[in-house]
Amino acid sequence: MDPFVSALEELAEALLTGEDPEVVLSEIAEEHGVPAQALRNRALRALGPLETYKERQAELKKEREQTARRRDPVFAGASFLAAVASLSPKLSLEERRAEIERLAAEYDVDPSAHKDAIERLRRR
């Protein structure tokens, strides 16, 4: 197997954990016996800019989750209610209402369709 493949996989994992790209790239290159510059070049082609890899992956994950919710209204509703349930009890009524509206837009649901469930959550 190409040593660059496993090195790139390891590099991607390290970047997702927030490690410094420069430090980890050198360590992984040495570990796999490949030139650091060659690994950097392949990583840039395969992963894009290393400094923003973690953020880009988080955005992709968020987009995939949003797509899944749009395809399944039951999942969207359940996710919305879970997010509402996790709101801070210290929020004022206005802040809570604003957060519920923001979450409704994020999860693409009609909050009035979940009014009863939201009211039950508030009583806890």
Give the model confidence (pLDDT) of 100-111 as tens digits. Answer: 999 999 888 998
Give the model confidence (pLDDT) of 42-72 as tens digits. Answer: 999 999 999 999 999 999 998 898 888 878 8
Give the whole-angstrom CA distance, residue 29 versus residue 32.
5
8 Å CB contact between 4 and 34: yes
Tokens 């990583």 belong to 43
DSSP characters over 45-113: HHH--GGGHHHHHHHHHHHHHHHHHHH-HHHHHHHHHHHHHTS-TTS-HHHHHHHHHHHHHHHT--GGG
Q: Could you tell me the pTM of the whole model?
A: 0.61
